[in-house]
Structure 1
Protein backbone atom coordinates (compact mmCIF):
# COMPACT_ATOMS: atom_id res chain seq x y z
CA UNK A 1 0.00 0.00 0.00
CA UNK A 2 1.19 3.51 -0.78
CA UNK A 3 2.52 6.00 1.75
CA UNK A 4 0.29 8.96 2.32
CA UNK A 5 -1.35 11.95 0.71
CA UNK A 6 -0.68 15.20 2.55
CA UNK A 7 -1.03 18.87 1.80
CA UNK A 8 -3.30 20.90 -0.42
CA UNK A 9 -3.18 21.80 -4.09
CA UNK A 10 -5.34 23.71 -6.54
CA UNK A 11 -5.44 22.91 -10.26
CA UNK A 12 -7.40 24.16 -13.24
CA UNK A 13 -9.99 21.92 -14.85
CA UNK A 14 -10.20 22.46 -18.61
CA UNK A 15 -13.39 22.46 -20.69
CA UNK A 16 -13.10 18.73 -21.36
CA UNK A 17 -12.77 17.96 -17.66
CA UNK A 18 -9.03 17.25 -17.75
CA UNK A 19 -7.15 18.01 -14.58
CA UNK A 20 -3.58 17.33 -13.45
CA UNK A 21 -2.81 15.33 -10.35
CA UNK A 22 -0.30 16.97 -7.99
CA UNK A 23 3.15 15.41 -8.53
CA UNK A 24 3.48 14.14 -4.96
CA UNK A 25 -0.01 12.58 -5.15
CA UNK A 26 0.94 11.00 -8.49
CA UNK A 27 3.94 9.34 -6.82
CA UNK A 28 1.66 7.84 -4.16
CA UNK A 29 -0.79 6.63 -6.82
CA UNK A 30 2.08 4.96 -8.66
CA UNK A 31 3.23 3.21 -5.48
CA UNK A 32 -0.36 2.11 -4.86
CA UNK A 33 -0.84 0.42 -8.25
CA UNK A 34 1.20 -2.70 -9.05
CA UNK A 35 0.58 -2.25 -12.80
CA UNK A 36 1.87 1.33 -12.88
CA UNK A 37 5.52 0.24 -13.15
CA UNK A 38 4.74 -1.54 -16.42
CA UNK A 39 2.29 0.95 -17.91
CA UNK A 40 3.65 4.22 -16.52
CA UNK A 41 0.03 5.27 -15.95
CA UNK A 42 -1.22 4.68 -12.41
CA UNK A 43 -4.84 3.89 -11.71
CA UNK A 44 -6.93 5.27 -8.89
CA UNK A 45 -10.50 4.83 -7.73
CA UNK A 46 -12.79 7.81 -7.18
CA UNK A 47 -15.71 7.34 -4.80
CA UNK A 48 -18.30 9.95 -5.69
CA UNK A 49 -20.66 8.68 -3.02
CA UNK A 50 -24.21 9.38 -2.02
CA UNK A 51 -26.20 12.49 -2.81
CA UNK A 52 -25.12 14.46 0.26
CA UNK A 53 -21.38 13.86 -0.22
CA UNK A 54 -19.83 17.20 -1.20
CA UNK A 55 -16.43 15.91 -2.31
CA UNK A 56 -14.87 13.10 -4.31
CA UNK A 57 -12.74 10.66 -2.33
CA UNK A 58 -9.78 9.21 -4.20
CA UNK A 59 -8.07 5.94 -3.24
CA UNK A 60 -4.98 4.29 -4.64
CA UNK A 61 -5.93 1.25 -6.68
CA UNK A 62 -4.56 -1.15 -4.06
CA UNK A 63 -6.00 0.92 -1.21
CA UNK A 64 -9.45 0.62 -2.72
CA UNK A 65 -8.94 -3.09 -3.33
CA UNK A 66 -8.08 -3.51 0.38
CA UNK A 67 -11.19 -1.53 1.34
CA UNK A 68 -13.33 -3.73 -0.91
CA UNK A 69 -11.84 -6.79 0.81
CA UNK A 70 -12.76 -5.34 4.23
CA UNK A 71 -16.31 -4.83 3.01
CA UNK A 72 -16.37 -8.36 1.60
CA UNK A 73 -15.33 -9.59 5.06
CA UNK A 74 -18.56 -8.34 6.61
CA UNK A 75 -21.36 -10.88 6.92
CA UNK A 76 -23.18 -11.32 3.62
CA UNK A 77 -26.57 -9.61 3.70
CA UNK A 78 -25.75 -7.62 6.85
CA UNK A 79 -26.98 -4.04 6.96
CA UNK A 80 -23.42 -2.69 7.34
CA UNK A 81 -22.21 -4.62 4.28
CA UNK A 82 -25.17 -3.57 2.15
CA UNK A 83 -24.70 0.10 3.10
CA UNK A 84 -21.00 -0.02 2.28
CA UNK A 85 -21.58 -1.87 -0.98
CA UNK A 86 -24.18 0.66 -2.08
CA UNK A 87 -22.47 3.83 -0.81
CA UNK A 88 -18.87 2.95 -1.64
CA UNK A 89 -18.46 0.08 -4.09
CA UNK A 90 -21.44 0.97 -6.27
CA UNK A 91 -20.64 4.70 -6.32
CA UNK A 92 -17.00 4.41 -7.38
CA UNK A 93 -15.14 4.62 -10.66
CA UNK A 94 -11.63 3.44 -11.54
CA UNK A 95 -9.64 6.01 -13.56
CA UNK A 96 -6.22 5.85 -15.19
CA UNK A 97 -3.88 8.81 -15.47
CA UNK A 98 -2.49 9.71 -18.87
CA UNK A 99 1.24 10.00 -19.59
CA UNK A 100 1.18 13.65 -18.47
CA UNK A 101 -0.31 12.86 -15.05
CA UNK A 102 -3.78 14.08 -15.97
CA UNK A 103 -7.16 12.45 -16.04
CA UNK A 104 -10.62 13.30 -17.29
CA UNK A 105 -13.00 13.94 -14.43
CA UNK A 106 -16.36 12.69 -15.72
CA UNK A 107 -19.04 15.35 -16.21
CA UNK A 108 -21.36 13.58 -13.77
CA UNK A 109 -18.74 13.90 -11.01
CA UNK A 110 -18.01 17.53 -11.86
CA UNK A 111 -21.72 18.30 -11.73
CA UNK A 112 -22.17 16.42 -8.46
CA UNK A 113 -19.71 18.63 -6.58
CA UNK A 114 -20.34 21.79 -8.62
CA UNK A 115 -16.83 21.88 -10.06
CA UNK A 116 -16.43 24.46 -12.78
CA UNK A 117 -12.92 25.79 -13.44
CA UNK A 118 -10.75 24.86 -10.46
CA UNK A 119 -10.30 21.73 -8.35
CA UNK A 120 -9.02 21.74 -4.77
CA UNK A 121 -7.05 18.63 -3.73
CA UNK A 122 -6.94 17.88 0.01
CA UNK A 123 -4.50 15.25 1.28
CA UNK A 124 -6.17 13.04 3.86
CA UNK A 125 -3.49 10.42 4.59
CA UNK A 126 -4.58 7.18 2.94
CA UNK A 127 -6.81 9.05 0.49
CA UNK A 128 -7.21 12.49 -0.98
CA UNK A 129 -10.31 14.49 -1.72
CA UNK A 130 -11.30 16.65 -4.66
CA UNK A 131 -13.52 19.62 -3.86
CA UNK A 132 -14.93 22.74 -5.39
CA UNK A 133 -12.62 25.25 -3.64
CA UNK A 134 -15.44 27.40 -2.25
CA UNK A 135 -17.26 24.38 -0.84
CA UNK A 136 -14.09 23.12 0.86
CA UNK A 137 -13.40 26.53 2.33
CA UNK A 138 -16.92 26.77 3.80
CA UNK A 139 -16.84 23.20 5.12
CA UNK A 140 -13.37 23.67 6.63
CA UNK A 141 -14.41 26.92 8.35
CA UNK A 142 -17.54 25.29 9.78
CA UNK A 143 -15.56 22.25 10.92
CA UNK A 144 -12.89 24.38 12.59
CA UNK A 145 -15.51 26.56 14.31
CA UNK A 146 -17.36 23.52 15.68
CA UNK A 147 -14.15 21.87 16.82
CA UNK A 148 -12.83 24.97 18.55
CA UNK A 149 -16.19 25.51 20.27
CA UNK A 150 -16.00 21.96 21.61
CA UNK A 151 -12.29 21.83 22.47
CA UNK A 152 -11.53 25.46 23.38
CA UNK A 153 -9.53 28.17 21.61
CA UNK A 154 -6.14 26.69 22.59
CA UNK A 155 -7.02 23.20 21.39
CA UNK A 156 -4.21 21.15 19.90
CA UNK A 157 -5.26 18.55 17.32
CA UNK A 158 -2.45 16.27 18.49
CA UNK A 159 -4.25 15.92 21.84
CA UNK A 160 -6.85 13.83 20.01
CA UNK A 161 -4.28 11.03 19.64
CA UNK A 162 -4.46 10.54 23.40
CA UNK A 163 -8.26 10.22 23.15
CA UNK A 164 -8.39 7.63 20.34
CA UNK A 165 -11.91 6.30 20.07
CA UNK A 166 -13.43 8.91 22.41
CA UNK A 167 -14.99 11.12 19.72
Structure 2
Protein backbone atom coordinates (compact mmCIF):
# COMPACT_ATOMS: atom_id res chain seq x y z
CA UNK A 1 0.00 0.00 0.00
CA UNK A 2 1.55 3.25 -1.09
CA UNK A 3 -1.07 5.66 0.19
CA UNK A 4 -2.24 6.43 3.71
CA UNK A 5 -5.15 8.17 5.33
CA UNK A 6 -4.74 11.75 6.50
CA UNK A 7 -7.00 14.44 7.90
CA UNK A 8 -10.37 14.58 9.57
CA UNK A 9 -13.75 15.25 7.98
CA UNK A 10 -17.31 15.54 9.27
CA UNK A 11 -20.13 14.22 7.07
CA UNK A 12 -23.86 13.85 7.49
CA UNK A 13 -25.35 10.39 7.99
CA UNK A 14 -28.93 9.65 6.98
CA UNK A 15 -31.51 7.65 8.92
CA UNK A 16 -30.65 4.51 6.93
CA UNK A 17 -26.99 4.77 7.97
CA UNK A 18 -25.68 5.94 4.62
CA UNK A 19 -22.66 8.24 4.74
CA UNK A 20 -20.29 9.43 2.04
CA UNK A 21 -16.66 8.54 2.60
CA UNK A 22 -14.20 11.37 1.96
CA UNK A 23 -12.76 11.10 -1.56
CA UNK A 24 -9.18 10.97 -0.27
CA UNK A 25 -10.12 8.10 2.03
CA UNK A 26 -11.80 6.23 -0.85
CA UNK A 27 -8.58 6.46 -2.87
CA UNK A 28 -6.65 4.78 -0.05
CA UNK A 29 -9.34 2.08 0.25
CA UNK A 30 -9.01 1.38 -3.48
CA UNK A 31 -5.22 1.21 -3.16
CA UNK A 32 -5.52 -1.25 -0.25
CA UNK A 33 -8.27 -3.44 -1.76
CA UNK A 34 -6.82 -6.90 -2.39
CA UNK A 35 -9.65 -8.12 -4.60
CA UNK A 36 -8.79 -5.80 -7.45
CA UNK A 37 -12.50 -5.41 -7.98
CA UNK A 38 -14.23 -2.35 -9.36
CA UNK A 39 -12.31 0.66 -7.99
CA UNK A 40 -15.63 2.43 -7.43
CA UNK A 41 -16.63 -0.20 -4.84
CA UNK A 42 -13.65 -1.02 -2.59
CA UNK A 43 -14.03 -3.19 0.48
CA UNK A 44 -12.91 -2.40 4.01
CA UNK A 45 -13.07 -4.04 7.41
CA UNK A 46 -14.68 -2.29 10.36
CA UNK A 47 -13.43 -3.43 13.75
CA UNK A 48 -15.86 -2.62 16.53
CA UNK A 49 -14.54 -4.54 19.52
CA UNK A 50 -13.06 -2.57 22.41
CA UNK A 51 -12.76 0.43 20.10
CA UNK A 52 -16.53 0.79 20.48
CA UNK A 53 -15.97 1.32 24.22
CA UNK A 54 -13.88 4.32 23.16
CA UNK A 55 -16.95 5.40 21.14
CA UNK A 56 -15.27 4.82 17.76
CA UNK A 57 -15.14 2.29 14.94
CA UNK A 58 -11.73 1.34 13.57
CA UNK A 59 -11.62 0.90 9.77
CA UNK A 60 -8.96 -1.06 7.92
CA UNK A 61 -8.09 -1.36 4.26
CA UNK A 62 -8.20 -4.98 3.20
CA UNK A 63 -4.38 -4.92 2.96
CA UNK A 64 -3.98 -3.60 6.53
CA UNK A 65 -6.46 -6.21 7.80
CA UNK A 66 -4.53 -8.94 5.99
CA UNK A 67 -1.29 -7.81 7.64
CA UNK A 68 -2.82 -8.32 11.09
CA UNK A 69 -4.35 -11.64 10.00
CA UNK A 70 -0.98 -12.85 8.69
CA UNK A 71 0.57 -12.16 12.10
CA UNK A 72 -2.24 -14.07 13.81
CA UNK A 73 -1.74 -17.03 11.49
CA UNK A 74 1.89 -17.31 12.61
CA UNK A 75 0.76 -18.02 16.17
CA UNK A 76 0.24 -21.66 17.22
CA UNK A 77 -3.22 -22.85 16.18
CA UNK A 78 -5.41 -23.43 19.21
CA UNK A 79 -3.21 -21.45 21.61
CA UNK A 80 -5.16 -19.38 24.14
CA UNK A 81 -3.48 -16.19 22.90
CA UNK A 82 -4.35 -16.88 19.25
CA UNK A 83 -7.96 -17.79 20.11
CA UNK A 84 -8.35 -14.63 22.17
CA UNK A 85 -6.88 -12.42 19.44
CA UNK A 86 -8.92 -14.11 16.70
CA UNK A 87 -12.11 -13.52 18.69
CA UNK A 88 -11.07 -9.95 19.42
CA UNK A 89 -10.03 -9.08 15.90
CA UNK A 90 -11.94 -11.33 13.50
CA UNK A 91 -14.98 -11.99 15.64
CA UNK A 92 -15.59 -8.30 16.18
CA UNK A 93 -15.05 -7.05 12.64
CA UNK A 94 -17.37 -6.70 9.70
CA UNK A 95 -16.52 -6.53 6.00
CA UNK A 96 -18.21 -3.64 4.23
CA UNK A 97 -18.23 -2.38 0.65
CA UNK A 98 -18.38 1.21 -0.51
CA UNK A 99 -21.21 1.64 -3.03
CA UNK A 100 -20.80 3.14 -6.50
CA UNK A 101 -21.71 6.61 -5.23
CA UNK A 102 -18.92 6.56 -2.61
CA UNK A 103 -21.20 5.84 0.32
CA UNK A 104 -20.95 3.34 3.11
CA UNK A 105 -24.01 1.93 4.84
CA UNK A 106 -23.25 1.59 8.54
CA UNK A 107 -25.48 -1.04 10.15
CA UNK A 108 -27.70 0.15 12.97
CA UNK A 109 -25.85 -2.08 15.43
CA UNK A 110 -22.59 -0.24 14.74
CA UNK A 111 -24.23 3.19 14.78
CA UNK A 112 -25.79 2.44 18.16
CA UNK A 113 -22.48 1.21 19.60
CA UNK A 114 -20.95 4.66 19.25
CA UNK A 115 -24.07 6.81 19.33
CA UNK A 116 -24.06 8.04 15.72
CA UNK A 117 -27.10 10.10 14.84
CA UNK A 118 -26.75 12.99 12.37
CA UNK A 119 -23.04 13.34 11.70
CA UNK A 120 -19.94 11.19 11.43
CA UNK A 121 -16.34 12.27 11.92
CA UNK A 122 -13.74 10.39 9.85
CA UNK A 123 -10.29 10.59 11.45
CA UNK A 124 -7.15 9.29 9.76
CA UNK A 125 -4.65 7.03 11.52
CA UNK A 126 -2.07 6.28 8.77
CA UNK A 127 -3.10 2.84 7.41
CA UNK A 128 -6.46 2.85 9.22
CA UNK A 129 -9.11 5.43 10.01
CA UNK A 130 -11.65 5.83 12.76
CA UNK A 131 -15.31 6.76 12.68
CA UNK A 132 -16.43 8.90 15.61
CA UNK A 133 -19.43 10.81 16.76
CA UNK A 134 -18.08 14.36 16.23
CA UNK A 135 -18.61 15.49 19.84
CA UNK A 136 -16.80 12.41 21.19
CA UNK A 137 -13.90 12.97 18.81
CA UNK A 138 -13.52 16.59 19.91
CA UNK A 139 -13.24 15.45 23.52
CA UNK A 140 -10.74 12.75 22.55
CA UNK A 141 -8.70 15.23 20.52
CA UNK A 142 -8.50 17.62 23.47
CA UNK A 143 -7.40 14.77 25.76
CA UNK A 144 -4.71 13.64 23.30
CA UNK A 145 -3.46 17.21 22.87
CA UNK A 146 -3.12 17.59 26.63
CA UNK A 147 -1.25 14.27 26.82
CA UNK A 148 1.18 15.39 24.11
CA UNK A 149 1.78 18.70 25.87
CA UNK A 150 2.45 16.82 29.12
CA UNK A 151 4.97 14.59 27.34
CA UNK A 152 6.92 17.24 25.44
CA UNK A 153 6.07 20.49 27.13
CA UNK A 154 4.45 23.57 25.70
CA UNK A 155 5.96 24.87 22.47
CA UNK A 156 7.97 21.69 21.71
CA UNK A 157 7.44 19.81 18.46
CA UNK A 158 5.55 16.55 19.24
CA UNK A 159 7.55 14.78 16.51
CA UNK A 160 10.49 14.94 18.91
CA UNK A 161 8.79 12.00 20.68
CA UNK A 162 9.76 9.80 17.73
CA UNK A 163 13.42 10.43 18.45
CA UNK A 164 12.97 9.54 22.11
CA UNK A 165 11.49 6.18 21.07
CA UNK A 166 14.51 5.48 18.88
CA UNK A 167 12.39 5.37 15.76
Q: Do these two structures clear the TM 0.5 threshold for a shared fold by scoring above it? A: yes
Provide the C-alpha distance between the structure 2 equivalents of 1:103 and 1:36, rounded to a whole number of angstroms. Answer: 19
Task: Name the counterpart of 2:120.
Answer: 119
- 1:1-167 matches, cutoff 5 A: 1-38=1-38, 40-50=40-50, 52-164=53-165
Q: Is the 8 A contact 2:44 2:96 kept in 1?
A: yes
Q: 1:39 to 1:144 in 2, by over 3 A?
A: closer
Q: Is the 8 A contact 1:123 1:129 kept in 2?
A: yes
Give the CA RMSD over aligned residues: 1.9
Q: 1:138 to 1:11 in 2, by over 3 A?
A: same
Q: 1:78 to 1:163 in 2, by over 3 A?
A: farther
Q: Is the 8 A contact 1:3 1:28 kept in 2?
A: yes
Provide the C-alpha distance between the structure 2 equivalents of 1:97 and 1:10, rounded to a whole number of angstroms. Answer: 17
Task: Write the deviation string for residues 8-54 of structure 1: whole angstroms up to 9, x where unpaired.
Answer: 11110001000011001001101111334446310000001125232
Runs (5+) with no aligned partner, structure 2: none
Structure 1 runs of 4+ off > 6 angstroms?
none
Runs (5+) with no aligned partner, structure 1: none
Q: Is the 8 A contact 1:2 1:60 kept in 2?
A: no
Q: Is the 8 A contact 2:48 2:110 kept in 1?
A: yes
TM-score (ref. length: structure 1): 0.90
Q: Is the 8 A contact 2:148 2:158 kept in 1?
A: no
